[in-house]
Homo-oligomer: A and B are copies of this chain.
Amino acid sequence: MYIPDFFREQRPEVLWAFVAEHPLGALIAVTADGITANHIPMIWQARAGTPGVLHGHVARANPLWKALVPDTPVLAIFSGANRYITPSWYPAKADGGRLVPTWNYSVVHAHGSIRFFADRDLNLRHVSELVDRQEARRAKPWNVADAPADFINPMLSRIVSFEIVVARVIGKFKASQQRPESERRAVAAAMAAEDIPFAEREELIRLPAPP
């Protein structure tokens, strides 16, 4: 991925937080049929001294897990908000009209090697962790144990877990960082005036942390 320095994000804790916020990854692999992609929520587990491990699961009916031998290289892409940025959002006369539109977005790319595991206990652990993380935001968190066991058990046999040992990870947070802070604040205000939600604005226009 081409990344001008302004947009490069390498701090592990920032990348981890981004993936936790945007867990649906595009899992890219190359099979005999060419480039293939599947979209799968994942959890990134830290492992001391390494870039960590991503885990998730696919339907057993998905041919992917049979097509990829252990340690096949894959790319997982995690994406946040993206939006066209019109020059109309800049302050009047900014740069004497020397402005062009752009598209802002944030992504994290994790390159690594994948292995699948047909292991019911691992499936339950992965699914439960995924659900618990999502439900933690809710007033009354739903729990895997809330569903009848005779319903959950057969479902656990219809999925296959995977782990991606991450070799390298990089973030591209394209959020107008190259523009002066005053301009960025003006653009964020113009977005607010057009009812673009706060969480989206925060990703689209990154501002310096308060001192």
| Chain A residues engaging chain B, CB cutoff 8 angstroms | 1-2, 4, 24, 26, 28-30, 34-39, 41, 58-59, 61-64, 73-75, 77, 79, 82, 84, 86-88, 96-101, 103, 105, 107, 109, 111, 131, 134-135, 138, 140, 142, 144, 146-148, 151-152, 155, 172, 197
Q: For the complex formed by this chain, how many copies does it contain in all?
A: 2
A97 to B96, CA, bound (A): 62
Sample of 4 further A-B pairs with CB below 8 A, known A24-B103, A86-B135: A24-B82, A26-B79, A98-B147, A100-B152
Whether the pair A37, B2 counts as a contact (CB closer than 8 A) is no
Task: Kindly list the 3 A-B residue pairs having the minimum CB-CB distance in the complex, ordered from nearest.
Answer: A2-B62, A84-B134, A35-B75
Whether the pair B39, A151 counts as a contact (CB closer than 8 A) is no
Whether the pair B38, A2 counts as a contact (CB closer than 8 A) is yes
A36 to B133, CA, bound (A): 30
Whether the pair A111, B1 counts as a contact (CB closer than 8 A) is no
